[in-house]
């Protein structure tokens, strides 16, 4: 047995209002007057001085606002990298991602592609990155994905949706300031929060489970149950706890894997552009066969927060479209193996998967 040797985020600041200390954290990391810091910020904050007024831009530093309407694409990463390289006199001092999983993943990918040749699509997979990334900082503004701790950056490329999984992917610094999440719309809070819940269920019921993953997963699951089912938390407590649930949920899957919901949700995302959080919810709602207890509690959470999920999203798909989705989902072998064991191909056939998609 050979064990994996994973990097972790080496520096993390936790605390409400901690975003105020961003400039102090960055200052010693500046490599030169013309080596800028590049801030990639979700464009929901574009006219929000509450965020931007606290970033002091010096010398050639730049803010680039990016829309999170669509999930990150390899072509988008390549365009950002080209723009940054063309406009900077020197290699940047660092990339700072401020937003949800979309912006965090973009920041990770851009920091890698500044020091590696070719395009981002060349590095989708496991351990393909050759050179260390430049300094990169993640500042989540919505909680659940675990992208702030993970060793991957999920990108949609010309022929697949797959992460750049590498030792150079994790952030060098994360700032966890739950106050940044206070204006997340209710539905989106639920969808992204459920990403964390689903990470826990898939990790804790998976065949890859080990004590490392189990302990993080249990902690995150307890927090999710408290946040989404109890009435005893203040808004601040709930925001702080979801931020930590996301972190622990991400740590749990680092050493295990996700499962059926993620595999199927990747298929939906690739074909229909369905976003990760809501896609997981749409799928998970129909997976009682695989996760009976997890789905039962999910339905309670959904009811408690009056969440109505879209239905019939696969109603008008052609056979060839189903095939595309099924191929993307079944291509994620480690997810199926984690969920169903080594002989997963006997349980999960193309026909079976199609029948499941047809319910959605
Ligand atoms: P997101 O980044 O896509 O954002 C969702 C929506 O919330 C957007 O409209 C965004 O503008 C808005 N938003 C974010 N913060 C806000 C705030 N403070 N106030 C108001 N609105 C706010 O959402 P997400 O669910 O965090 O991320 C999904 C992405 O994360 C997907 O691309 C998925 O592939 C990726 N992901 C990555 C990992 C990983 O380990 N790298 C894990 C899971 C998911
Ligand atoms: Zn996820």
Q: Which of 7, 44, 100 to mutate to test the pocket of ligand 1 (most atoms within 8 A of CB)?
A: 100
Separation of CA 160 and ligand 2 centre (Å): 17
Q: What residues pair up with 38 in beta bridges, in sequence order?
A: 62, 95
Separation of CA 272 and ligand 2 centre (Å): 17
Q: What pLDDT shows up at residue 325?
A: 95
Q: pLDDT tens for residues 191-246?
A: 999 999 999 999 999 999 999 999 999 999 999 999 999 999 999 999 999 999 99
- Around ligand 1, the residues with Cβ closer than 6 Å are 42, 44, 68, 71-72, 99-103, 105, 141-142, 144-147, 150, 152-154, 180-181, 183-184, 188, 192, 195, 275-277
pLDDT for 2 beyond 90: no
Q: What residues pair up with 174 in beta bridges, in sequence order?
A: 12, 138
Separation of CA 141 and ligand 1 centre (Å): 8
Report yes or no: 51 and 25 within 8 Å, Cβ to Cβ: no
The whole-chain average pLDDT of the chain stands at 96
Cα→Cα distances 348→66, 252, 319, 323, 344, Å: 38, 25, 18, 14, 6
List helix spans (H) across 230-318.
235-254, 260-272, 276-284, 292-304
Residue nearest to atom 8 of ligand 1 (CA): 68
pLDDT for 252 beyond 90: yes
Q: Closest-lying ligand to the alpha carbon of 190?
A: 1
Q: What pLDDT shows up at residue 159?
A: 82
Separation of CA 42 and ligand 1 centre (Å): 9
Give the separation between CA 338 and CA 357, rounded to whole angstroms: 20
Separation of CA 117 and ligand 1 centre (Å): 27
pLDDT (average), residues 248-266: 95
Q: What percent of the chain has pLDDT over 90?
A: 97
Q: pLDDT tens for residues 84-129?
A: 999 999 999 999 999 999 999 999 999 999 999 999 999 999 999 9
Question: How long a stretch of residues is the chain?
Answer: 360
Q: Which of 99, 140, 253 to mutate to test the pocket of ligand 1 (most atoms within 8 A of CB)?
A: 99
Task: Report which ligand 1 atom has the smallest distance to the Cα of 145.
Answer: 43
pLDDT (average), residues 26-35: 97
Separation of CA 347 and ligand 1 centre (Å): 32
Q: pLDDT tens for residues 155-205?
A: 999 888 889 999 999 999 999 999 999 999 999 999 999 999 999 999 999
pLDDT for 1 beyond 90: no
48 — alpha (psi -120 to 50), left (phi > 0) or beta?
beta
Burial of residue 79 (CB within 10 Å: 0-12, 13-18, 19+) is: exposed
264 pLDDT band, cuts 50/70/90, is: very high
């Amino acid at each position: 047995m050979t064990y994996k040797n994973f990097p972790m985020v080496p520096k993390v600041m936790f605390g409400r209002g901690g975003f105020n200390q961003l400039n102090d954290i960055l200052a010693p990391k500046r490599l030169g007057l013309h080596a800028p810091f590049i801030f990639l910020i979700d464009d929901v904050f574009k006219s929000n001085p509450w965020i931007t007024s606290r970033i002091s831009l010096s010398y050639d530093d730049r803010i680039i606002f990016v829309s999170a309407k669509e999930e990150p694409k390899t072509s988008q990463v390549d365009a950002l990298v080209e723009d940054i390289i063309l406009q900077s006199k020197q290699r940047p001092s660092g990339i700072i991602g401020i937003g949800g999983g979309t912006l965090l993943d973009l920041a990770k990918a851009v920091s890698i592609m500044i020091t590696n040749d070719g395009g981002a699509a060349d590095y989708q997979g496991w351990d393909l990155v050759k050179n260390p990334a430049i300094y990169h900082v993640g500042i989540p503004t919505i909680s659940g994905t675990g992208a702030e701790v993970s060793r991957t950056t999920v990108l949609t490329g010309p022929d697949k949706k797959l992460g750049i999984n590498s030792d150079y992917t994790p952030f060098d610094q994360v700032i966890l300031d739950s106050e940044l999440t206070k204006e997340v719309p209710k539905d989106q809070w639920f969808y992204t929060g459920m990403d964390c819940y689903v990470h826990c269920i898939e990790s804790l019921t998976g065949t890859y489970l080990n004590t490392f993953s189990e302990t993080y997963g249990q902690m995150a699951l307890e927090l999710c149950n408290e946040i989404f089912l109890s009435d005893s938390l203040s808004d601040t407590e709930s925001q702080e706890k979801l931020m930590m649930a996301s972190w622990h949920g991400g740590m749990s899957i680092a050493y295990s894997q996700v499962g059926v919901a993620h595999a199927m949700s990747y298929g939906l995302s690739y074909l229909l552009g369905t976003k990760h959080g809501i896609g997981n919810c749409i799928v998970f709602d129909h997976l009682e066969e695989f996760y009976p207890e997890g789905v039962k509690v999910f339905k309670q959470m959904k009811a408690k927060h009056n969440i109505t999920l879209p239905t019939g999203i696969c109603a008008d798909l052609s056979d060839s479209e189903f095939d595309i989705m099924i191929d993307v989902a079944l291509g994620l072998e480690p997810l199926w193996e984690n969920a169903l064991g080594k002989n997963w191909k006997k349980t999960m056939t193309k026909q079976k998967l199609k029948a499941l998609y047809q319910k959605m």
